Amino acid sequence: MGIPLRSVLPSAFDAAVEPVSAIAAEAWDALALGAAEPHPFYARRPVEAHRASGLSPDDLAAVVVRGPDGLAALLPFVLRADIAGFGTAVAQPFLSPYVTASAPLVADGPALDARLDALVAGLAAASDGRCWRWPMLATESRLGAGLVAAMTRAGWQVATVASFERPALDRRPDHAAFLAAHPHKSRLKDLRRRRRRLGEAGTLVFEVATDGPALERALDGFLALEAAGWKGEAGTALASRTDTTRFAHALFRQDGTSGPPAVRADSLHLDGRTIAASLALVAGSTAYLLKTAYDENLRAHAPGLVLEDEIVRALHDTAFADRLDSATLPGSPLESLFPERMRIAEILAQPPGGGLLPLERRADLARFEHRARAEMKRLIGRR
């Protein structure tokens, strides 16, 4: 049973906090397919893959909003101790290393603002007035900006902790148009040279798999390739642990009954051996390039970037999506290949009447945490 939040919501909508296990699969899938800005990470299958592999809490819950047409919005969330709460709990959208966007799923169509207003009222009630710490939000997108606007209408305070520009690529009319307008033609020339040198070493083949045995083989090839590199040595490759291996197999499967998102595996083979592999989730008209691995013995030839260049060509040749989302953190090599940018921010959002500390004080603590982690990463890198 969900916890109703009707007293604070517009009359056309009901909101509740419900276990994700109680949300009807058909309604959830329909929301994921019809969302105003669909992304794959809060669709049913990825959330279930996290739960089945032990990468999410057993009691993971979501704020859900229902209206006259059924399920209208959904956001999985957790309460956790955080520096921004001075060690007390704050609310946060559910995240993992395999979640790179955190906007809620909100049904598209007329009255989008009303659905967002209902969701924001539900967020305040679900957190019991606690502050929300919200990373990985595209704040300049239609939905991200709409969410922040709905918070402002409801009297929330919002502060930006950090932000960065994530590379993306919008499909042009054809590949020639992409090449002609590219701002870094020297980079494209360099990739052609590296591809040519790889081809001189043997037979170079680009392959795509979206379902069936071909997808299973591509996934196995990716897992082996990633485990053979530095991530395997560090213990952070998907195949390094039983739970993440289970997660990969649960997520990257596709058949007629799977439900959204679609999945895609792109591979580059040299004389039959996988030298680069990419795993993507496709939601709406966007392909999210979630994971990439390459043969580090061939680093000088940049097989990973050569593969990304092949994916760009396939995007234009087959129109499998309208946009490629790099799903990266700052400093990605794709910054020189993908010309578009999306602002990805971490915000703190405080419902009215909640918290005794000024929001900016909380934001300063969160910024300090960012600086400390960056310095730790720098020191580890030097060692």
Residues of the chain with pLDDT under 70: 1-11, 256-257, 354-356, 380-383
Q: Do 3-164+342-382 and 172-321 share a fold?
A: yes
Q: Are 288 and 100 in contact (CB under 8 A)?
A: yes
The structural architecture, per CATH, of the domain 3-164+342-382 is 3-Layer(aba) Sandwich (3.40)
Q: Who's near 372: CB < 8 A, 6+ residues apart?
A: none
Query: Which pLDDT belongs to residue 6?
Result: 42
Query: Which pLDDT belongs to residue 8?
Result: 44
Query: Which pLDDT belongs to residue 254?
Result: 77
Query: Which pLDDT belongs to residue 376?
Result: 76
Q: What is the pTM of this model?
A: 0.92
Query: Which pLDDT belongs to residue 46?
Result: 97
* Phi–psi pair at 271, nearest 5 degrees: 50, 40
Q: Are 126 and 77 in contact (CB under 8 A)?
A: yes
Q: What is the CATH number of domain 172-321?
A: 3.40.630.30
* Closest CA relative to residue 104, chosen from 153, 164, 64, 163: 64
Q: Residue ranges of the domains in the chain?
A: 3-164+342-382, 172-321
Query: Which pLDDT belongs to residue 83?
Result: 80
Query: Which pLDDT belongs to residue 253?
Result: 84
Q: Are 305 and 337 in contact (CB under 8 A)?
A: yes
CA 169/CA 179 separation, integer angstroms: 12
Q: Are 127 and 86 in contact (CB under 8 A)?
A: no
* Residue-wise pLDDT tens digits, 85-96: 777 889 999 999
